[in-house]
Amino acid sequence: MDNIFLLSNQDFYELRFDLWDFEDNRAFALYKNFKLDGARDRYKIHATDFEGSAKNGMQVHNGMRFSTPDQDNDKWLEYHCGKEWRAGWWFNNCWHSILNGPYYNQSKVLSRGISWNDWKPEQLAKSQMKIRPSRLHRSVESTKHDPKASNSKVNDETYLPSNSQDLQNMESSKLKPKS
């Protein structure tokens, strides 16, 4: 978390979520403006300028602080979302999307741990979170020499590899069992 805070405050960053259901359908949500506040502000998330096929599942989480099962920083006074859902997340009241909860390995479950309600109401098979410097704010100079840089098509390869421990911890990616 501290690494992502430091990184996202050095430059303009974007945040991308990739989601897969159990039928291997895929959707994504891209936030072209992303920043995480520091520990003092409980890693409050700022994710705006949405585009994507998954709908804006982070809208109700934008501006929320990070809660965990032992830290209640959510917006629901009488309830501890992180404890009840057994997840670390930017809980509001409690969630429209959640990607860090328990993995159930099937879509039809009562309590979900990986879900993006604005796309699908059920449990999802797999998810990824990635950040990279924002193309919105790249200098004109760099786009001159690289015609691809001005292309609005999202290119997976340019995202930062998740080499930081924090980013790995945030990934709730799980592989489907081989059938």
- Taking the complex as a whole, the smallest distance from the CB of residue 78 to Ca ion amounts, in Å, to 7
22-30, 34-42, 64-72, 103-111 -> range binding Ca ion (CB under 5 A): 64-72
- Of these, 72, 84, 118, 122, which contacts Ca ion (CB under 5 A)? 72
Nearer to Ca ion, 15 or 87 (CB): 87
Which of 76, 102, 138, 171 contacts Ca ion by CB under 5 A? 76
Selected range binding Ca ion among 69-77, 110-118, 123-131, 149-157, rule: CB under 5 A: 69-77
Taking CA atoms, 20 is separated from 16, 81, 97, 154, in Å, by 14, 24, 13, 17
**Beta pairing, strands 97-98 & 115-116:** antiparallel
Counting beta carbons within 10 angstroms of the beta carbon of residue 102, is it exposed (0 to 12), middle (13 to 18) or buried (19 or more)?
middle
For the bound state, the minimum distance from the C-beta of residue 77 to Ca ion, rounded and expressed in Å, comes to 6
Q: Is 18 in the site for Ca ion (CB under 5 A)?
A: no
- Collapse the DSSP code of 116 into the 3-class scheme (helix H, G, I; strand E, B; otherwise coil) and give the result: strand
Look-up of token digits 């403006």:
33
**Under a CB-based contact definition with an 8 Å cutoff, are residues 52 and 28 in contact?**
yes
Out of 17, 36, 74, 123, point to the residue binding Ca ion (CB under 5 A): 74
How many residues in the shown chain lie near Ca ion by CB under 5 A?
Answer: 3
Residue 92 and residue 84: Cα distance in Å, rounded? Answer: 13
CB of 31 to Ca ion, least distance (A): 25
C-alpha angle with apex 165: 159 to 171, nearest 5 degrees?
60
Summarize as ranges the residues that interact with Ca ion (CB under 5 A).
Answer: 72, 74, 76
